[in-house]
Chains A and B, each alone.
Chain A
Amino acid sequence: MTTKTVLSPLPGIFYRKPSPEDPVYKAEGEPCETGAVIGLVEVMKSFHEVKSDVDGTVVKFLVNDEEAVVAGQPLMEVEE
């Protein structure tokens, strides 16, 4: 079993939920397949989906909901 990270494609603010009232896209311990939406990055007032590029189980998130991120920053650890 190897651990891989999903990186932010963009700089901006990372959101784990589609809206404040909704549940998180992915919780720790949940399965995560390639192409699954794991969060949103808000950049310059537009929202972009972040998709997983690995299959496995979510180990943990490396950034908090609504935290500022830079492009290429690891967002989430996945165990393959």
Chain B
Amino acid sequence: MTKRIRSQIARGSAELAILALLADQSLYGFEIARQIGERTNGALTFTLASLYPLLYEMEKRGSVEGRWQRNHAGRDRRYYRLTPAGRKQLAPLRQEWRAFFHALDVLAGVSHA
């Protein structure tokens, strides 16, 4: 697999993870990274360097929007939430990944591995 394909898969999966997470609640960067790590038992982890450029790009594209708010500890944090456009993207993106994994399963028997 080339580096290009790897990076596209990583990037696509990262976007899906963030969109799916923000579909339920507004979160700030650290919480997004923490929850993705926890929910996937550490299979997916974000570093600061991998998270913020992607968040900013998604924000630029209008999938998410950020707003400064106080968190439960009284600190100012920039919370991200899905925009209507981001919410629209989520369903087809899920479908694409479902099809991708199905195709991979047919080829490589991933679900039986």
Is chain B found bound to chain A in the same assembly?
no
Contacts from A to B (Cβ < 8 Å): none
